[in-house]
Structure 1
């Protein structure tokens, strides 16, 4: 399963779980270099956290995993922020995503 497949599998969970209206979470994403241009302002201008998360995932994470050059480091940075944000639901979601990325155990 590719990283893009895993993203698509967990897309609904990410959209409903990422705290994209939380200033600390946004700052953590920014420090990891996940915003470029006016992306942070655009994300924060979305009316709901789910809208903001969907925009972020579509325009940052999915874009990095699509096309001829797949850049999985961006997805990894998001997972790291989810773990560092230190809420159990985000940690668990990150763990579940990482398990899928690693594939079946040998």
Structure 2
């Protein structure tokens, strides 16, 4: 199992949980340099939070974990934002994902 597999396992929960229509959450993602180019505007133009989350996950997180050069730091930054956003459901989801990722290195 890889970090990409973990992302796919938690994909439905991430899409339904990430508050991509919340300006504070978007600003937190931006401060962690998780948007490039016009990504923030594209994400915010999506009609629903779930659509925005799916676009963000597919085009930022999944891309960083795919291909010959796997870059897990971006996934890690998302987890930090989820923990810092300070809502219990996001913290729990981040914790579950971390546990699964830690199991990969053992």
TM-score by length of 1: 0.97
Q: Distance in 1 between matches of 2:61 and 2:103?
A: 20
How many residues align? The count is: 105
* Corresponding residue number in structure 2 for 1:42: 42
* Corresponding residue number in structure 2 for 1:5: 5
Q: Which runs of 5+ in 2 are unaligned?
A: none
Question: 1:67 and 2:64 equivalent?
Answer: no
Can you list the C-alpha shifts for 1:25-66, whole angstroms capped at 9, x where unaligned?
Answer: 000000000000000000000000000000000000000000
* Corresponding residue number in structure 1 for 2:58: 58
* Corresponding residue number in structure 2 for 1:80: 80
TM-score by length of 2: 0.97
SS class of match (2:52): helix
Q: Which runs of 5+ in 1 are unaligned?
A: none
